Chains A and B, each alone.
Chain A
Amino acid sequence: MSKTITISPVTRIEGHAKITIQLDDNNDVSDARFHVNEFRGFEKFTEGRLLWEMPGITSRICGICPASHLLTSAKAGDDILAVEIPETAEKLRRLLTLAQWLQSHALSFFHLSAPDFLLGFDSNPATRNVFGLIAADKEFAKRGIRLRKFGQEIIEILGSRRIHTPWTVPGGVREPLDPAKKEYMLGWIPEAKETVGLAMDAIKKIHKKFAKEIPEFGNFRSLLVGLVSKDGGLEYYDGFLRIMDGNGNTIADKLDPKKYYEYFGEAVEPWSYLKFPYYKPFDYPKGMYRVGPLARVNICDYIETPLAEAERKIFKKLSGNVGVVNNSFYYHYARCIEMLFAVEKIELLLNDPAILGQNIRSMASINRSEGIGCTEAPRGVLFHHYNVNKDGVIQKANLIIATAQNNIAMNRTVRQIATHFIDGKKGKITEGILNRVEAGIRCYDPCLSCSTHALGQMPLLVELLNANGEVLDEVRR
């Protein structure tokens, strides 16, 4: 009889999820899936609310990436007002985006993934966490917390609160930047650069330490999707969509993010609340694509800051002859490169005289019935799409979250790792192997509490399947 091994919840990712690994009669893996259990109905909840409330409301969807929802929502609002926001407002919004990247990436690298890397996949699970990390390298753990704090402080300074700040609004931002606060933020830069340098040193040692295992960590060809600037640089706030294939060929470029629905469809599977977005021309599931740091650093032609650009060039060499880095393990390296970029670019933005401008908001009333906002959240490209009536009341909202866009790839990663590491003939599945499966998911740093947003699709169903696909047991709730 086949067996199903369940790992639930997946530890050290944001939100709840479950992985099932199905074994066949020989104890070999026949399938593995990443299930999302948590259910939220934020899109439905926002119907009937005013457009101007949307940044404040949607930023409360998630406690980890509120600023990304805030910014994307405000951009959808800009579109509905049909305004171009002032230069200072755009620079301040860019600063906020980078602060969000920094705090989120620092959490992912230093606290969620570093315990696996520095303590080992097979180390004692009771201490394979941030406390074990503190025991092994206190300074490293402390630095990680402070780097995250720097990002959070920028968010708090700009918005008066660390989370759920309504500072960004359709048309711009509410308050200009206080010069004293600018100087305070600049004071953090030397320490932040040093800490990112430690992360960069660590990731290179990690690559050597896990050289034998890395090839099995979600190593497959897929499409890569993200924003690039007008001239092809790494982008985080605006720009065009670029789509690259697993051979490094750009198959679509300069796509308008406001027409996202022409490029991407959303499939549904009965075993997950999380939708499965795919690239329409290739259909589901062949249209699998990855977003986030791995995609962004792969698809851009350059990074505008010098230290990050130097690292990007080293990163690209990992691709060998293919021209694109296809291994999901290198999400971590890409994340470190983006942390470096964020710190460098934050310094540039703070030293730009325009950041202290007083013209920060374009005022207008409802000029369009539909608006779409798009930014690069830490985990990848994020879309907010609203329809409003003449008074600006939301009639319909659609949010396409980064984590969902990695859904097909995350499932592929789980299957690959499980198939490689679980050898039924040995008759033993160690905790360390199960942890490797979880670590495959952590590459993507999924944030599921904001991803699971579709309302009323199915009840929660837990199934136990045998090798013939017959249901051995089932639980509904």
Chain B
Amino acid sequence: MIERHLIHIGFLALAAWLAPVCWTPTVAQTATPAVRTKSKSPTAKWTPPRTADGHPVFEGVWNSSSLTPLERPVELGSKEFYSEEEVAAYTQKRRKEMSRERRDGGAEADLGRAYNEEWYDRGTEIGRNRRTSRIVDPPNGRFPPMTPEGQKRFDETRAWLDKHSTDAAENQPLYVRCLEASQAGPPMLPGNYNNNYQIVQTPGYFAILSEQPHQTRIVPLTQHSPLPQDVKQWMGDSRGHWEGDTLVVETSNLRFNDQSKFGNQYDGIADDNLRVTERFARTAADLIIYRATIIDPTVYTKPWTIELPLQKVTEPVYEYACHEGNYGLAGILSGARAEEKKAAEQNLGHR
């Protein structure tokens, strides 16, 4: 969790590589699996510590890194979980295929992979829930089909980005601009590093500090007037309530990056219809099971759900001063201007 000046010249390559990852928010409604715990008696029900007002304590620092892919490999079909026996082999395979610390593609590929495991902190194990994918609904573990309108927006956005992403700062992804990160959400999706959260509970609030890019979502647990629909926030407008021992957080007013035409998690194609419902359940001393359902009828034909194990960690959350150290954004833009200049000079030379 050491502070990383993630933003540097390698970021352009990273951005390209990340694109499919960012394009994968998630959620599910299927039954929570048997979570593998360190307890000798996995069936023993764990009793959470409680706050003065009687709710389970979620306080502490939690990490969502894992090797579990967002979408399930097609060949696994409806297989939701790996068996204990399958985990080791799959973990080895996944570590190998995710590693960018290898030399099997030539010099150009090596350069593209310069942003590698030295920087990444994506986890080295699959999630403790032994799931084959983070998406748990639809049942095939993959994104539901897009609506025709969603597909159209997606294609247009991609085509536009191909031409204009380096034209100006506002055309860059939100995480490059230090405005949002997939980790902060909602939904809170792990990224390549700094997948850490600090939770603080008070009688009326549930606060989630996301290390990247230092954003705190303060969820009111009491009656709270929602923001008017035209007031958007990157993390939206969240309200929480308890359903038994599960904290349920509903979020609307998510900003979908109307200025830059594309966003971090939703590629800017979502609209006012986008809502996220999250569920936090503390199932063990060192484990929160986090679920988020994304409801976006404009873009998807049906809601989809992710599930993530959040593992308790003992280190503190460090300050991620993203904007203050953002050399990457200037580097990306000045690199693009330099390439244009070079191309223009070559054109002149041909005349």
Q: Do A and B belong to a common assembly?
A: no
